[in-house]
């Protein structure tokens, strides 16, 4: 079935998704669809999580990659495949090629995180580092494809890749027929176009809302829909780095125009909050891109129609240093970590008196820093910064009150 004929034929794409479902059996997970009591309670909706963060390679990307490569058999075993990616697509292609006995070359930018490079290598692919951004790696992958004859595996703008991602929609409909809205992260558009075309085909007789979610750092689909065509923008840094692209694809945009009901933009604060709450309340690790649907539910609950909502958690390949910062930020927002700066007399016993007030409130001291050289501090005094782990925001208020009662000046509290 040629790609050209599929571009304007959603029924053909749906049939291709059914083929993909059969092709993927035994090679990728049928991921859980679970009800979240916590997110349902805080949003006032019945929230279900489609856990693609528990998928092989930690992301939905393996579905489209595997189906695309399998569609090229047996010739692909002779010619091999090449792809460009800085993360999840790289691992999806590498894993799929390994399962199918195909040689794979993955071109990654030199700025790709080492753990993603190592994970891609662990699936048996040859990794080449080229350029500083994805676009450099992409151009190199195209050059290699042209020179060697290796099949280029596009991360999203390909009918077989779209159909492979569409199997997520088939699984959702099979497990939870009565749904009102499905929230999907938007990068190049392969995931949302695949899910939207399958669900819209299955729910032709009733209203079902498919809603895309973008970070405010990269609203390329929103701008494309306003312009009536894909446009190129320059993304800003975001926790949701897995969806940062300059533009949605030409094919994915056509599918999205016909099948997606709305697009919601979310802030970095809510992405961080969604990641933190997923980990804290549901014990699930999601990368920033994977947390986008829950960020939308938390930030814009009134924009999500209906009662029964599915949030597609698209991946769990979170960078641990980023995760550390997100956790600290989440703890701070809940009043469980706080920083207090005191002005103390630089005399024996002054610090002990302050720390006694901290201890009596059940707070734990993580770090202490002294500053005797700040020009704003009078001679004989010192600034002391306390980083505290606190059981609650009420405990913080008690510490502040007790310090004031002891005559200790609180210069700053965050």
Active site residues: 61, 314
On whether the CB atoms of residues 239 and 268 are closer than 8 A, the answer is yes
Neighbouring C-beta atoms of residue 32, cutoff 10 Å: 13
Please give the C-alpha separations between residue 342 and each of 7, 132, 345, 346, 393, in angstroms, as whole numbers.
65, 44, 10, 12, 19
Helix or strand run (H / E) with residue 246: none
Specify which residues 385 forms β-bridges with. Answer: 341, 369
DSSP helix/strand/coil, 111 = coil
As beta bridge partners, residue 275 has: none
Pairing of strands 381-389, 364-371: antiparallel
Task: Give dist(CA 315, CA 217) in Å, integer.
Answer: 19
Handedness of CA 327, 328, 333, 336 (dihedral sign): positive
Strand partners, 129: 108
Query: In this structure, how many other beta carbons lie within 10 angstroms of the beta carbon of residue 152?
Result: 15
Rounded Cα–Cα distance for residues 279 and 251 (Å): 35
Residue 99 tokens, joined: 């399962």
């Amino acid at each position: 079935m040629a790609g050209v004929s599929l571009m304007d034929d959603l029924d053909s794409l749906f049939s291709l998704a059914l083929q993909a479902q059969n092709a993927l059996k035994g090679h990728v997970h049928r991921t859980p669809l679970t009800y979240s009591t916590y997110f349902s309670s805080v949003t006032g909706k019945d929230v279900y999580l489609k856990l693609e963060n528990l998928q092989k390679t930690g992301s939905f990307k393996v579905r489209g990659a595997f189906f695309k490569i399998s569609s090229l058999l047996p010739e692909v075993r002779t010619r091999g495949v090449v792809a460009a990616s800085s993360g999840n697509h790289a691992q999806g292609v590498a894993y799929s090629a390994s399962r199918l006995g195909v040689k794979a070359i993955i071109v990654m930018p030199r700025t790709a995180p080492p753990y993603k490079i190592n994970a891609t290598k662990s699936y048996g692919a040859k990794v080449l580092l080229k350029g500083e951004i994805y676009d450099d790696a992409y151009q190199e992958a195209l050059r290699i494809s042209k020179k060697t004859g290796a099949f280029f595996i596009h991360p999203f703008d390909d009918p077989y890749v779209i159909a492979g991602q569409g199997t997520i929609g088939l699984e959702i409909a099979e497990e939870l027929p009565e749904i009102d809205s499905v929230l999907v992260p938007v990068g190049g558009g392969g995931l949302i176009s695949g899910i939207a075309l399958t669900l819209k085909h299955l729910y032709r007789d009733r209203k079902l809302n498919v809603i895309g979610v973008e970070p405010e750092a990269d609203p390329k689909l929103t701008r494309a829909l306003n312009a009536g065509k894909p446009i190129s923008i320059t993304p800003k840094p975001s926790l949701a780095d897995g969806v940062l692209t300059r533009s949605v694809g030409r094919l994915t945009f056509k599918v999205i125009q016909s099948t997606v009901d709305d697009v919601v933009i979310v802030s970095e604060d809510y992405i961080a909050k969604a990641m933190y709450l997923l980990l804290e309340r549901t014990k699930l690790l999601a990368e920033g891109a994977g947390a986008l649907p829950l960020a939308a539910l938390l930030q814009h609950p009134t924009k999500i129609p209906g009662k029964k909502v599915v949030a597609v958690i698209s991946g769990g390949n979170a960078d641990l240093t980023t995760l550390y910062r997100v956790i600290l930020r989440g703890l701070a927002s809940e009043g469980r970590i706080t920083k207090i700066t005191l002005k103390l007399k630089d005399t024996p016993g002054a610090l002990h008196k302050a720390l006694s007030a901290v201890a009596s409130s059940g707070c734990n001291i993580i770090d202490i820093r002294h500053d005797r050289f700040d020009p704003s501090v009078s001679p004989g005094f010192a600034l002391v910064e306390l980083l505290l782990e606190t059981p609650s925001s009420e405990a913080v208020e008690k510490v502040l009150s007790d310090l004031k009662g002891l005559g200790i000046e609180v210069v700053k509290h965050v």
